Structure 1
Amino acid sequence: MTIRTVAVPLTDDGELRLTVAEPDGPVRGGIVVLQEARGVTDSVRLLVTGLASDGWLAVAPHLYHRDGADDLGNGTDAEVADQVGRLDSQQVMDDCDTAFGWLADNEVPTDRLGVLGFDLGGTAALLVAANRRLGAAVTVAGEGIEKSPSPSVPALVEAAPELTCPWLGIYSEAADSASIAKLRAAAERSGVATDVVVYPSTGYRFDDDPESAAEAWARVLNWFGSHLR
């Protein structure tokens, strides 16, 4: 398995950087990994390499490229919030389209394209899956379930009925149970295969508990393996 960064030219004379991990053997399909609020961090790179180890050609677009920021791991919460606030939903969608296009250029068919995101990326992953034709999508701890995280995007309960592909949502019990129930019901109205799983955890992210994290990761791989084939 190899990991590298490629630059894809954009129509505005800029470029989108993609962190790419390629499997050693045959490619099962392609998955776009959407970054968390602090950018393409080491955690995001671990997701990309973990998917490649399971046979997927995985790419993480650097969504902050218009501001020259990739990793805000050492930034303050205020700096991160400011950067997130400058994200435009249409630009995010455009960058996802560029990443999907790169995967298509590398001979990945549409029905074997997936998207995965964590926190901020999890929110974006559901919105992408509601607006693009893909094979499967996974949201981990996506924010903005009932209240939109940004003026430019709908709340997840509003977008979920429009899902176009099988979607898996993973949350911890720290999330509001009533909101999770509404998200589950909204996703079911889409008419595609959906599942929302809640893990016991004392923190916001399910991976506070290593046992839950291992089971959730296996569930993610099984979801993609079942629907991208």
Structure 2
Amino acid sequence: MSLNATIPTLEADASFGAYVARPEGTPRAAIIVIQEIFGVNPGIRQKCDKLAAEGYLAVAPDLFWRLEPGVETDPDVEAEFQRAIGMMGQFDQDAGIRDIEATIHHIRRTLGVSKVGCVGYCLGGRLAFMAAARTDIDASVGYYGVGIDGLLGEKHAIAHPVMLHIPTNDGFVPRETQAAMHAGLDDHPKVTLHDYEGLDHGFATETGQRRDEAAATLADSHTAAFFAEHLG
């Protein structure tokens, strides 16, 4: 099953798909899983299923719906990887944040879960940081977010806890960018950074060639403890 729910936009003039994984019983909280450039693909759906098994309501909105609803690509297939890169270039990130905000509202008002966090990967890691600065989300985690150094001017708006996972050999986030992130965020009372020495972009993906099992397990344990503390 790919997309199994719909969410209205903030303007309520359209709706977009989402994958929702529900826990047994009452959710302890909700977590929005923010896609990579590869859409709500099997790896993102697996992230949701794992969170549901931990007691969370997990929701992965289809943020590329304005470009192509329901698109999902495989990063290990070169042609699909290049297609995803092209879609990222066309993607309106500000509209994506509004869709994340609409997802927050939907979870709180329609699904009845008041505490909402988010976890994002790649492009989603960047969007998780933006959501922390631009919405009232309760806790945000970003894995290998791209271009966060260019968003540091928004850090004053971060009111709720943020955790960022940074692989030091990230081919999309050079050392200079990592240094700027540390310089800008290490003293922020709401932000925690974790470095993963020698790891590359995508190390925590659920499927495919990029995954590093030990590092993914470590990072995910930090994330689990973070959400347990800040979402309950």
The offset of 1:173, in angstroms, is: 2.0
Two-structure CA RMSD over aligned residues (Å): 2.2
Question: Is structure 2 residue 166 aligned with structure 1 residue 171?
Answer: yes
TM-score, normalisation: structure 1: 0.85
Write the distance in 2 (CA, Å) between the matches of 1:25 and 1:180: 41
Write the distance in 1 (CA, Å) between the matches of 2:111 and 2:64: 24
Aligned to 1:66, the other structure's residue is in SS state coil
The offset of 1:186, in angstroms, is: 2.0
Which shows bigger deviation, 181-190 or 135-144?
181-190
User: Which residue number corresponds to residue 121 of structure 1?
Assistant: 124
* Residue number among 121, 133, 142 corresponding to 1:130 in the alignment: 133
| Structure-2 change in CA distance of 1:77 and 1:209 (3 Å) | closer
Aligned to 1:133, the other structure's residue is in SS state coil
* Residue number among 198, 206, 215 corresponding to 1:201 in the alignment: 198
1:86-126 Cα offsets, whole Å, 9 max, x none, are: 111221022112211221121111xx211110001000110
Which shows bigger deviation, 38-47 or 62-71?
62-71
8 Å CA contact retained: 1:163, 1:187: no
* Residue number among 206, 220, 227 corresponding to 1:224 in the alignment: 227
Write the distance in 1 (CA, Å) between the matches of 2:189 and 2:229: 17
* Residue number among 87, 90, 107 corresponding to 2:112 in the alignment: 107
User: Which residue number corresponds to residue 149 of structure 1?
Assistant: none
Which shows bigger deviation, 176-185 or 159-168?
176-185
* Residue number among 96, 102, 118 corresponding to 1:92 in the alignment: 96
8 Å CA contact retained: 1:135, 1:228: yes
8 Å CA contact retained: 2:5, 2:19: yes
Write the distance in 2 (CA, Å) between the matches of 1:12 and 1:87: 20
8 Å CA contact retained: 1:136, 1:224: yes
8 Å CA contact retained: 2:2, 2:40: no
8 Å CA contact retained: 2:129, 2:148: no
8 Å CA contact retained: 2:7, 2:15: yes
1:141-191 Cα offsets, whole Å, 9 max, x none, are: 001133xxxxxxxx2333334322100000112144443232133234544
Write the distance in 1 (CA, Å) between the matches of 2:195 and 2:25: 33
8 Å CA contact retained: 1:22, 1:57: yes
Write the distance in 2 (CA, Å) between the matches of 1:91 and 1:55: 30
Question: Is structure 2 residue 25 aligned with structure 1 residue 25?
Answer: yes
Write the distance in 2 (CA, Å) between the matches of 1:145 and 1:132: 17
User: Which residue number corresponds to residue 184 of structure 2?
Assistant: 186
Which shows bigger deviation, 81-90 or 65-74?
65-74
Amino acid at match of 1:72: T
For this pair of structures, how many residues does the alignment match? 217
User: Which residue number corresponds to residue 208 of structure 2?
Assistant: none
**Identity between Structure 1 and Structure 2 (%):** 24
